[in-house]
Amino acid sequence: MTASPDAKPRGTRLPRMARRRQLLDAAQEVFVENGYHAAAMDEIAERAGVSKPVLYQHFPNKLGLYLALLDLHVDDMVTRCREALASTTDNKQRVQAAIGAFFDFVSTQGEAFRLVFESDLRNVAPVRQRVERSLQESAEMISQVIQEDTGCSSDEAHLLGVGLVGMAEVSARYWLTSDGSIPKEAATQLMARLAWRGISGFPRTG
């Protein structure tokens, strides 16, 4: 059940970086399961097999710990999206790849996507900023492609980009909960077809 099978040798001494990594893993488990507010520093420490003060020797406070984790996964998401769009120059393929990036992201071990897509701290400025960055940057990249392909105005392309990212995000999350009823490949292609048909008919369709 725990990320590291070496659960609680509550006496082992670890080099600093190894310990830090272990703390991040434990924190991710707890934050993902309970969200930020319901997560207790006590439990994170216990899950990592250390005491609370150790936690505070590695991170300034609960928010700092959360942000470190959040940055990791926001970067991950944005990178996946960027690489998907760069993986080909055929725009139809690009749509397919980008949608796939979202489905891959939510499939990632530990359901870490919840930190980015379902954070219960969006009201706190630094968190909101990071979460919106993941949406904005993905949408920005996509809107670039849309502008080239359709000749929309910048504002319109941005709105479309945001909408498509939202579609991908929400459908990927839903697909994950109904696991088994539709294989990932099929789901990805289904949504990609929806998106592509929607975009491609744009420049002069009434």
The footprint of DNA (CB under 7 A) covers 10-11, 13-14, 16, 19, 39-42, 49-54, 56-57, 61-63
Binding mask 124-143 for a second copy (x = CB under 8 A): x----------x---x----
- What one-letter code names the amino acid at 32? V
DSSP structure class, residue 179: B
- 38 lies in the binding site for a second copy (CB under 8 A): yes
In the list 79, 174, 185, 203, the residue contacting a second copy (rule: CB under 8 A) is 174
DSSP structure class, residue 5: S
Beta bridge pairs of residue 182: 179
Binding mask 42-81 for a second copy (x = CB under 8 A): ----------------------------------------
- 106 lies in the binding site for a second copy (CB under 8 A): no
Give which of a second copy, DNA, none residue 52 binds (C-beta under 5 to 8 Å, depending on kind).
DNA
Give which of a second copy, DNA, none residue 63 binds (C-beta under 5 to 8 Å, depending on kind).
DNA
Distance CA 170, CA 206 (A): 27
Beta bridge pairs of residue 84: none
Question: H-type helices in 14-124, by residue range?
Answer: 16-38, 41-48, 52-58, 62-86, 91-107, 113-117
Kindly list the distances between the CA atom of residue 28 and the CA atoms of 31, 35, 76, 87, in Å, as whole numbers in the listed order.
Answer: 5, 10, 15, 30
DSSP H or E run through 130: helix 125-150
CB 140 to a second copy: min, Å: 12
Residues that bind a second copy (CB under 8 A): 34-35, 37-38, 118-124, 135, 139, 155-156, 158-160, 162-171, 174-175, 178, 181-182, 187, 190-191, 193-202, 205
